Amino acid sequence: MKMLIANVGSSSFKCQLLDMPAEKQLAKAKVERVKTDNGIITWSIGGGESHRVEMPLPTYGDAISFVLSKFVGEDGAVKSMDEIEDVSFKPVYAKGLSGCRYMTPEVCDKMAVYNRVIAPMHNPMYIDAIENFRRLLPGVPLTGLFEDWFFDKLPDYVQYYPIPWDWTQKYDIKKHLFHSSSHGYAVNKVSEVMGKSRYDLNMILCHLGGSSSIMAIEKGEGLDGCGGFSLQNGIANSVRPGDLDPFLLSFLVAQGEGDVDQVIDKVMTEGGLAGLSGIGYDMRDLQKAAEEGNERARLAIDVYVHGAKKYIGSWMAVLGHVDVITMQGGTGEASSYIRKRVLGGLEEYGIVLDDKRNEETIGKLGKISADNSRTEIWVIPVDEEIMVARACYKLLTEGK
């Protein structure tokens, strides 16, 4: 079965065309700067030569149409659109839904409930992409694996907030954790490389990147982590602040900075590492600027590192014993500097980084803890798309 796996970002679109269940990659593409006049598209067919073009991409529909034009045809991975038997997505959040689903209009309606405030930088983009695929590939099944699937059995004392109970019941207010495809992949892979069952391991999983989360895994199952009722929790992200005193927003409204929607919009689009640094959020740029004396870049890195350390320490206390810590995501996989900043100084707790292994393990699987470290530390390059493909293939073929 030929499945197109679509990963939609706030201004990006990545996809792979896979032959399932063999998991053979037939084509892949990456689109950057969607909804701008200087979009960038790179793609390759069957692992061959990489191609690149810059062009205006005013809508997700334009980006999707271009990618399909390269995947389909005489020089493409398939000869006709009819060969594409499914499009699978990695949607984030829907009211009352989780797991793997057919992306019907009814499911999209449940996602749209959270378009404002709760997931404004994610849900509208996914709904837009889903509707474009529905138009461009009529009759082709559209499936999706929601981003909270791995954490759908949290303890009740983790899920519930100490707010009036009638609100909890009326609005189904619970804590949710995300980045499930990354964390689910990491749990399985680190168990494999350690040669132990996931159900015998306590883990702290660190997905570090433009969007970050740090999770506690007890005996192979999700226990707690960066997350909340909305997506605006945890350590600082690229343009979102992470943990924030909610009364700060009321204060800013009272000071005349705008109404509630305007203040929230600014916090979520001009905050985070970019807001602190004033120069953006790419960790490579921040590190270079900090080394050159830029104090705001230094501050942004320090806030990020402190937040990561704080969550790791919290989950150490909650778990009691930690067998392994993973580093994954764009920054976690590629930045030996951030890994050392986050994990350095924890020797008293049995967490000892090996500097040489850390420096040598960039963008590849590898153990970076010292031999005398009680807790193993692994860099895990994750494949989120393959997790989506496996789950959606099972839904399509087994109906579950």
User: What pLDDT, on the 0 to 100 scale, is given for residue 35?
Assistant: 84
Are the C-beta atoms of 176 and 97 separated by less than 8 Å? no
CA separation for the pair 160, 228 (Å, rounded): 10
Are the C-beta atoms of 90 and 75 separated by less than 8 Å? no
* Nearest C-alpha neighbor of 72 from the set 22, 130, 139, 17: 17
Its pTM stands at 0.92
Task: Name, in order, each residue with C-beta under 8 angstroms of 129's C-beta and a sequence gap of 6 or more.
Answer: 6, 8, 13, 60, 64, 89
User: What pLDDT, on the 0 to 100 scale, is given for residue 301?
Assistant: 98
pLDDT string in tens for the chain (400-residue length): 999 999 987 678 889 999 999 999 999 999 988 888 989 999 999 999 999 999 999 988 899 999 999 999 999 999 999 999 999 999 999 999 999 999 999 999 999 999 988 998 889 989 999 999 999 999 999 999 999 999 989 999 999 999 999 999 999 999 999 999 999 999 999 999 999 999 999 999 999 998 899 999 999 999 999 999 998 899 999 999 999 999 999 999 999 999 999 999 999 999 999 999 999 998 999 999 999 999 999 999 999 999 999 999 999 999 999 999 999 998 999 999 999 999 999 999 999 999 999 999 999 999 999 999 999 999 999 999 999 999 999 999 998 6
User: What pLDDT, on the 0 to 100 scale, is given for residue 400?
Assistant: 67
Taken in order of first residue, the domains within the chain and their CATH numbers are 2-146 (3.30.420.40), 180-379 (3.30.420.40)
* Nearest C-alpha neighbor of 106 from the set 86, 127, 89, 125: 127
Q: In what order do the strands lie in the sheet with 36-45?
A: 51-57, 36-45, 24-32, 12-19, 2-8, 86-89, 142-145, 100-102
> Residue for token digits 């850390």?
358
CA separation for the pair 317, 311 (Å, rounded): 10
CA separation for the pair 398, 131 (Å, rounded): 25
Are the C-beta atoms of 369 and 354 separated by less than 8 Å? yes
* CA distance readout (Å), 158 to 318, 325, 381: 11, 21, 28
User: What pLDDT, on the 0 to 100 scale, is given for residue 83?
Assistant: 96
User: What pLDDT, on the 0 to 100 scale, is given for residue 383?
Assistant: 92
* CA distance readout (Å), 364 to 49, 192, 241, 274, 382: 22, 15, 29, 27, 10
User: What pLDDT, on the 0 to 100 scale, is given for residue 121?
Assistant: 84
H/E segment holding residue 331: helix 329-334
